[in-house]
Amino acid sequence: MDPISLAVIQNGLQQVCNEMDLAFVRAAFSPVISEALDRSDGIYHRDTGALIAQGELGLPVFVGTMQFSTQAVIERARDLVPGDIYIVNDPYLGGTHLMDVKFVKPFFHQGRLWCWLANTGHWPDTGGMVPGGFSAKATEVEQEGLRLPPVKLFKAGVLDQEILAIILSNIRLADQRIGDIQAQAAALAVGEQRLTGLLDRYGADVVDAAIAELERRASRQMRAAIATIPDGTYHGEAFVDSDGVVNEPLRIAMAVTKSGETLSFDMSGSSPPCRGPMNSVIATTRSSIYLAIKHVFPDVAINAGTFEPLRITDPEGTFLYARYPRPVSGCAAEVSQRIAEAVFDALAQAIPERLFAAPAGTSGNFALGGFDPGRNRPYVMYMISGGGYGGSPLGDGISNGCSTIGISKTTPIEVMEQRYPVLFEQYALHQGSGGAGQYRGGFGVTYSVRLRAGTARASMVMDHGVFGPPGAAGGSAGGLNTVQVRINGADYVPPHRSKDQDIELHAGDVVSVSTPGGGGYGDPRRRDPAAVALDFTRGYYSEAQIEERFGPSGEGG
């Protein structure tokens, strides 16, 4: 196929996914989708479920997991007709946590099943012990919410009211979920229309051939990138603060072996399965490695071929291969980022010029559920927080960046104040949180939110509250995640630092959170004195922090 036609079809497939993304965002009811962008859309192979294309606005962690959930649907699909849509959120069937609800739709062209269209949306609640689903103390998956195997929610385009009734009877704010359900289905309908137009224009056989060629080229690109890494085995590690139930760290032991044009990953030395919700299902574990390598080699095209040279040994017997009924609410948002961090740590030994200090590495999951007396209705507010990126040989890390696993962002505080009975009294950079280095880490954020009326329950599943994001090449770790709750004038700090649930709040109580900064890169005493002075002038560090981290009066060298 000539390169111009190939490029046009490649971009056409990408545009189909982008339009699905935009339709989903614009129609969704929940701010976590419409404002925070916690969702993804893609096109998947008709027989294998392998990734063909994904929207540029989709979360990278879903690149791998949506392949596996589509495969689970393919294995169970029966009597398909146009308009069918399967719903699934079972973590053990290629999922993440229960809040990530996937819709999978068979796409027919001229009467033939041609591919699958799929999307994922983070629902603000799927039932379970606590509003929002982030139960820090769950010891089995049933405590985290409603688990759905692949079932046809739409049959020939008609919403099955009986299945819908089962779903809505088991989640909070049931009357508000129908908006997200219809938005998710509408996004797939847009994809169906746009993909039909693409196939009608170029021909299904031509597009099929282009997809196969794009997959081959992505594999060659990734192999060429891997070839630049020296042969050898490199070891890295990362730590999860605790599982939320047992207050002990969980270790990820990562061995990366480069041989020729392949990379192999072995995590068998990691901690065993844990009691709390920080277990990771295998689909998320694999996807975390995929996204880590994509961070290292961002120019490689993204489709199933991208992952072909990556060999992952399933970490049986560790907390990175969760089986039923292990709780998993922290896997996608938190453990995934520790896995990526361990990959970065290992490869920094092999290709330090391409690597960077660790980013904040937590999504800062904070949920507040209660009753709003002003509107006379219940609510669930879910909030994602940004953090600092690590410094690198190219410069300082950015501040308040999105998490390692995606492009999700904090819902604007004006939107949250409008929709929920809360008031944000502070939203600022987390002073001093950037790890010191020749190139310092970026800064996390500090926010304080006051409950204005009624009562509520606060829950959070965060990380890096005990172990800060590590520095690289002599740089210092980034600042820690902290949580403090002022209840009736008294301060409360969670025993697990940044994981807790069911904290009862009344009007006037305040939750304050500071997110981690990124690690520093290089010897802090080699930082340009002018840059140190500018950091101080801008209030990024206090005078005492400047003295401690960069030397007397910040005089680098």
The predicted structure's pLDDT at residue 557: 42
Q: Is the dihedral of CA 46, 52, 57, 62 positive or negative?
A: positive
325 preceded by a cis bond (ω within 30 of 0): yes
At 224, phi and psi to the nearest 5? -65, -40
The predicted structure's pLDDT at residue 175: 85
Are 556 and 527 a contacting pair, CB within 8 Å?
yes
Report which DSSP code applies to 334. I
The predicted structure's pLDDT at residue 555: 52
Alpha-carbon span 194 to 188, nearest angstrom:
10
Where exactly are the structural domains of the chain? 3-218, 356-557
End-to-end CA gap in the chain: 56
The predicted structure's pLDDT at residue 24: 97
Question: pTM score, two decimals?
Answer: 0.96
Q: What is the pLDDT of residues 199-244, one digit of tens each?
A: 999 999 999 999 999 999 999 999 999 999 999 999 999 999 999 9
Torsion-angle region of 520 (φ positive above 0: left; ψ -120 to 50: alpha; else: beta): beta
Q: Is 48 helix (H, G, I), strand (E, B) or coil?
A: coil
Report which DSSP code applies to 274. -
Are 120 and 102 a contacting pair, CB within 8 Å?
yes
Question: What are 156's two structure tokens?
Answer: 């020939």
If you compute the radius of gyration of the chain from its CA atoms, what whole number of angstroms results?
A: 23
Question: What are 282's two structure tokens?
Answer: 């295998």
Are 437 and 392 a contacting pair, CB within 8 Å?
no
| Residues of the chain scoring pLDDT < 70 | 553-557
